[in-house]
């Protein structure tokens, strides 16, 4: 490898006497050191030498973490919760059945099972096993992880099951017979890849996958969509869309409403620039939609929320609002639409869903959920606020365009997750089941504060702690953030957070920084590319406010983030080491010079910029944690967590940062799980270990007297 070559050159320079040779080698070494990463070898994910290094890091980390006082109790509690019969069986509707994947102590990989719809509503327990994933793993000698099911609308006989090895994004897709409960021999089969799959009918599918050389984009996603008929080899499938390899991906959707089937193709130029094609009588028609949008189809109407200002005919439709129009109006460029939801300060749209009878728009009002239901009657839309608890998080967990009923969850920082069903019968949603209360909430309080960031923008944050907390600057505190990809951080219930942290006097903070979606498209767009530093400024401003209020102090603050949030905590750690005592950095991006060359990283350049363009590397280089970490600083203690099977964010980020900081003399910890994908865990045992690891780490770092 080049690293070994450089070591040889260095040795030669010291021991050979030729001045010419020394001069030549010195010049070569200087150039190489300016362009070559000495820890590049750690990007070889499954190399023998690399995994030996990972194992040594794991041994060191576990040797520390598992000896922390209370680790075993935390693990036992987490494992008991994750394998308990009291878990919520989240629904997946199809036909007359509710399907569910269930993991417990005896079924670590899971049981894919089903129950009649009526019995689910009545809380009966007559589940029937469709696939025993653990048994399948043993039979096929593969650590399968269940991903999802592709049902055929209106067909209760066959479906397709997506399974991945160890929880990675790349997966296989296998046709399954629901009546015989076995995989279909000679049925539709897609080999391991990051694929998209859609049923057109029981004998025809759209498939976007790795078709061989040249069929993937630079991001590692399919660039070709094909129509594939049963009984024919995939090599004979007909190409219906092909996009340049420099773009992000090609994809498709088949949306089945009660009366019609709508076939769509997608050309994703990047994460936020998407062209949609509508297939009508074998003609492919480009839809006049904004390049960045949310949308759904409801009967003969399309529901659109533009995320950029949209010139539609003679009208400029402002980003963030939600409109409805006839599909034919869009196809024929007719300038007529109705506004369902206007822009209002503090309100943003989280998601749009449809049932057979209504449009559901899930919104945030000052980062608290409100679910709106719209019915179309006599040419007008009738709006209704769905009657659910306030000041928490509402999520639509299952909905079907062909059915009236849909399922919702509600939770908050102090209210355990509850599943509701709305039957569309004019009554309020009906509460079905709730998680147990895993910690005492009566003595807790939740507040929302606002602080002025570096550019004077007001940034909100939630803080949860005991009511009698004394503001003396001595309270252990975990601050969490994300700040990217228009993802909102909302109030949610966590048994481990309550049991391990809040009950023991800890304080928990969620910073709602820019880059997220908490206040609509502008909140996200304010902190991308050349403005990404604003996310970090916002997070730092929250920390400084917590210290100024004497809630905590530098020796008591730990910060936590994953994925883009791992980049966040890595960046603020190296920018402001004076503010933090401990950092838990989960499946992170850290090397922002090479991120676009690793796995799916190329697809995120619309968020961060292109480091190969000098002008863009100029601003990226200023916050890239890997390039800004320095020797001789007083950095916080760091725990990195990643996964060998994470094929979204490369484990090399965490590996290389660990190696670099160690060589600088810092004491850092790395734990790399052998599977789990981007979640870094899959089985209850793995999830319990990860949860107990970082709460034990923060306990040891922040709660010791």
Sign of the CA dihedral running 425, 428, 433, 435: positive
Average pLDDT over all residues of the chain: 93
> How does pLDDT run across 371-396, given as a tens digit for each residue?
999 999 999 999 999 999 999 999 99
Q: Which residues contact 402 (CB under 8 A, 6 or more apart)?
A: 153, 154, 256, 257, 258, 356
User: pTM (2 decimals)?
Assistant: 0.93
Distance from chain centroid for Cα 195: 17
Least confident of 312-316, 491-495, 540-544, 595-599: 312-316
Looking at the domain assignment, is residue 94 inside a domain? Answer: no
- Boundaries of domain holding 695: 43-78+438-702
The predicted structure's pLDDT at residue 17: 33
> How does pLDDT run across 463-503, given as a tens digit for each residue?
999 999 999 999 999 999 999 999 999 999 999 999 999 99
Nearest-CA neighbor of 358 among 379, 389, 323, 382?
Answer: 382
Looking at the domain assignment, is residue 293 inside a domain? Answer: no
Domain count, the chain: 1
Res. 10 pLDDT band, cuts 50 70 90:
very low
HSE, side-chain direction, 13 A CA sphere, residue 173: 24
d(CA 472, CA 673): 39
Cα–Cα distances in angstroms (integers) from residue 234 to residues 143, 211, 229, 250, in the given order: 26, 8, 8, 17
Res. 334 pLDDT band, cuts 50 70 90:
confident
Nearest-CA neighbor of 647 among 677, 604, 686?
Answer: 677
Looking at the domain assignment, is residue 609 inside a domain? Answer: yes
Res. 31 pLDDT band, cuts 50 70 90:
very low
* Residue 156 three-state SS: strand
Looking at the domain assignment, is residue 59 inside a domain? Answer: yes
Q: Which residues contact 662 (CB under 8 A, 6 or more apart)?
A: 668
At residue 5, does pLDDT exceed 60? no
Res. 335 pLDDT band, cuts 50 70 90:
confident
Degrees, nearest 5: CA angle 195-201-203: 85
Looking at the domain assignment, is residue 620 inside a domain? Answer: yes
Residues forming the active site = 563, 678
Structure tokens given for 469: 């907390």
The predicted structure's pLDDT at residue 171: 98
The predicted structure's pLDDT at residue 2: 28
Give mean pLDDT, residues 509-517: 98
Sign of the CA dihedral running 693, 695, 698, 704: negative
The predicted structure's pLDDT at residue 30: 33
Specify the residue for token string 């290094």.
53
Looking at the domain assignment, is residue 373 inside a domain? Answer: no
At residue 318, does pLDDT exceed 50? yes
At residue 332, does pLDDT exceed 90? no
> How does pLDDT run across 413-446, given as a tens digit for each residue?
999 999 999 987 777 999 999 999 999 999 999 9
Looking at the domain assignment, is residue 502 inside a domain? Answer: yes
The predicted structure's pLDDT at residue 36: 85
The predicted structure's pLDDT at residue 282: 81
Is residue 603 within 8 Å of residue 271, measured between CB atoms? yes
d(CA 102, CA 96): 19
The predicted structure's pLDDT at residue 35: 58
At residue 25, does pLDDT exceed 50? no
d(CA 215, CA 222): 6
Distance from chain centroid for Cα 433: 26
Beta strands 204-208; 196-201: pairing state? antiparallel
Give mean pLDDT, residues 402-406: 94
Beta strands (DSSP E) in 56-121 are: 92-94, 97-102, 111-116
Q: Which residues contact 528 (CB under 8 A, 6 or more apart)?
A: 515, 606, 607, 608
CATH of the domain at 445: 3.40.50.1820
At residue 75, does pLDDT exceed 90? yes
> How does pLDDT run across 220-249, given as a tens digit for each residue?
999 999 999 999 999 999 999 999 999 999
At residue 4, does pLDDT exceed 70? no
Looking at the domain assignment, is residue 545 inside a domain? Answer: yes
The predicted structure's pLDDT at residue 33: 36
d(CA 471, CA 698): 20
Is residue 78 within 8 Å of residue 69, measured between CB atoms? no
Q: Which 8-state DSSP code applies to residue 334?
A: -
């Amino acid at each position: 490898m080049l690293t070994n070559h450089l070591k040889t050159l260095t040795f030669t320079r010291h021991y050979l006497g030729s001045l010419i040779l020394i001069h030549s080698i010195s010049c070569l070494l200087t150039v190489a050191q300016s362009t070559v990463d000495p820890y590049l070898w750690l990007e070889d994910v499954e190399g023998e030498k690399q995994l030996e290094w990972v194992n040594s890091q794991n041994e060191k980390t576990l040797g520390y973490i598992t000896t922390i006082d209370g680790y075993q109790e935390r693990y036992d509690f987490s494992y008991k919760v994750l394998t308990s019969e009291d878990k919520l069986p989240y629904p997946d509707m199809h036909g007359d059945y509710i399907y569910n994947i269930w993991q417990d102590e005896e079924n670590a990989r899971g049981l894919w099972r089903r129950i009649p719809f009526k019995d689910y509503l009545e809380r009966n327990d007559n589940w029937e096993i469709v696939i025993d994933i653990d048994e399948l793993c043993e039979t096929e000698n593969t650590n399968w992880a269940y991903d999802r099911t592709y049902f055929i609308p209106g067909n209760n006989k066959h479906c397709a099951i997506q399974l991945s090895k160890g929880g990675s994004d790349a997966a296989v897709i296998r046709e399954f017979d629901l009546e015989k409960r076995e995989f279909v021999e000679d049925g539709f089969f897609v080999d391991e890849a990051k694929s998209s799959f859609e049923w057109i009918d029981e004998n025809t599918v759209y498939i976007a996958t790795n078709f061989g050389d040249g069929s993937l984009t630079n991001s590692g996603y399919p660039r070709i969509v094909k129509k594939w008929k049963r009984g024919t080899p995939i090599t004979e499938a007909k190409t219906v869309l092909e996009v340049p390899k420099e773009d992000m991906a090609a994809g498709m959707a088949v949306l089945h409403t009660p009366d019609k089937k709508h076939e769509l193709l997608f050309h994703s130029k990047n994460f936020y620039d998407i062209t949609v094609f509508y297939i009508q009588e074998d003609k492919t028609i480009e839809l006049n939609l904004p390049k960045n949008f949310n949308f759904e189809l409801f009967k003969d109407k399309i529901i659109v929320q533009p995320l950029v200002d949209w010139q539609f005919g003679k009208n400029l439709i402002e980003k963030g609002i939600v409109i409805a129009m006839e599909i034919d109006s869009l196809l024929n460029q007719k300038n007529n639409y109705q506004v369902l939801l206007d822009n209002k300060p503090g309100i943003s749209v989280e998601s749009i869903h449809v049932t057979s009878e209504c449009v559901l728009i899930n919104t945030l009002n000052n980062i608290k959920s409100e679910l709106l239901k719209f019915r179309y009657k006599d040419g007008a839309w009738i709006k209704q606020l769905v009657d659910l608890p306030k000041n928490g998080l509402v999520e639509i967990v299952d909905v079907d365009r062909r059915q009236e009923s849909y399922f919702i969850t509600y939770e908050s920082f102090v209210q355990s997750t509850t599943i509701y069903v709305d039957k569309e019968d004019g009554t309020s949603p009906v509460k079905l089941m709730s998680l147990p209360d895993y910690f005492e909430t009566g003595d807790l309080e939740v507040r929302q504060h606002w602080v002025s960031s570096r550019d004077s923008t007001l940034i909100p944050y939630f803080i949860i702690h005991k009511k009698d907390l004394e503001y003396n600057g001595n309270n252990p505190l975990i601050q969490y953030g994300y700040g990217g990809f228009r993802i909102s951080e909302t109030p949610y219930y966590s048994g481990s957070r309550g049991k391990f942290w809040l009950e023991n006097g800890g304080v928990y903070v969620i910073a709602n920084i820019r880059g997220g979606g908490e206040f609509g498209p502008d909140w996200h767009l304010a902190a991308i590319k050349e403005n990404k530093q604003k996310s970090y400024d916002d997070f730092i401003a929250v920390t400084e406010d917590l210290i100024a209020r004497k809630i905590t102090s530098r020796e008591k603050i730990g910060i936590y983030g994953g994925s883009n949030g791992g980049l966040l905590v890595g960046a603020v750690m190296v920018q402001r080491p004076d503010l933090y005592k401990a950092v838990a950095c989960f499946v992170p991006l850290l090397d922002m010079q090479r991120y676009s060359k690793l796995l799916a990283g190329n697809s995120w350049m619309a968020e961060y910029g292109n480091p190969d363009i000098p002008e863009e590397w100029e601003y990226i280089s200023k916050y890239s944690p890997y390039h800004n970490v320095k020797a001789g600083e007083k950095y916080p203690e760091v725990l990195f967590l990643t996964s060998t099977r994470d094929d979204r964010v490369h484990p090399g980020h965490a590996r290389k940062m660990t190696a670099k900081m160690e060589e600088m003399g810092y004491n850092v910890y790395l734990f790399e799980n052998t599977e789990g994908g981007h979640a870094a865990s899959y089985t209850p045992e793995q999830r319990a270990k990860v949860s107990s690891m970082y709460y034990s780490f923060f306990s040891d770092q922040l709660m010791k007297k």
